[in-house]
Amino acid sequence: MATLSAAQARDLARLYHELATTLGRYRFDNWDDLTKARRASIEAIERSLLSASSDFTVIAINLALDDVDPVLKRIKRVTKRMTAAVKKLKRTDKVIRMAEAAVKLTGAILSGAPSAIASALDEAIRASK
């Protein structure tokens, strides 16, 4: 059996909706000329057509989602890699902070100022934690 595509399901949903609308317009425009039984049968067809339209809509969306399934998997993979990259960046930031502290400590030692050395040492210890 041939399978339906999302576009075909959408076409059917549109077609059923248009048919229901046309029938509804006909029923209301000719209300007094139609017998009660005739109106009831047209109304029942309208209901079926509107229901069928929303049934084909749900099929269309599901088929469209089936189509993008491999795309979703690939985007998830890229997102996972980006998240890992951001984590790596955070780790890099830690290394950078340690490097900065080391430079500061070097500078403090070169200056020979005890207070600067003490402060830089504290910072270096904090950065390495």
Partner 1 sequence: MGRWLRRFVYTACFNALLVGLSACVDTSAVRRFATVSSTASEQFEEIADDLPAACMRQHRYLALADSQITLEGVRSRAEESCSDYVTLARRLNGANQVLVSYLKALGKLAEDKLVVYDKRIEDVADALADNDMFDAEKIGAVERLAATLSNAVAGEWRRKQLKQTVEEANPDVQILVAALRDVIDEDYTRLLDVEGEAAKHYYLGQIKEYGAGEPLTVPLVFEKWREADLAVRDKQGAAALSVKILDKIAKGHQKLYDNRDKLSSKEVHSLLMEYTVVLEDLVYDFEKLRDAF
Binding site for partner 1 (CB under 8 A): 10, 13-14, 17, 20-21, 24, 28, 31, 43, 46-47, 50-51, 53-55, 57-58, 60-62, 64-65, 67-68, 71-72, 74-76, 78-79, 81-83, 85-86, 89, 92-93, 96, 99-100, 103-104, 106-113, 116
Q: Which is nearer to partner 1, 1 or 70 (CB)?
A: 70
Nearest residue to 123 via CA among 43, 107, 111:
107
Min dist CB 103 to partner 1, Å, is 4
How many other C-beta atoms are found inside a 10 Å radius of the C-beta of residue 34? 16
Min dist CB 31 to partner 1, Å, is 5
Q: d(Cα 95, Cα 77) in Å, to the nearest integer?
A: 27
Q: Which is nearer to partner 1, 96 or 118 (CB)?
A: 96
Q: Which is nearer to partner 1, 38 or 81 (CB)?
A: 81
The answer for residues whose C-beta is within 8 angstroms of residue 105's C-beta and 6 or more apart is 117, 120, 121, 123, 124
Q: Is 60 exposed, middle or buried (0-12, 13-18, 19+ CB in 10 A)?
A: buried
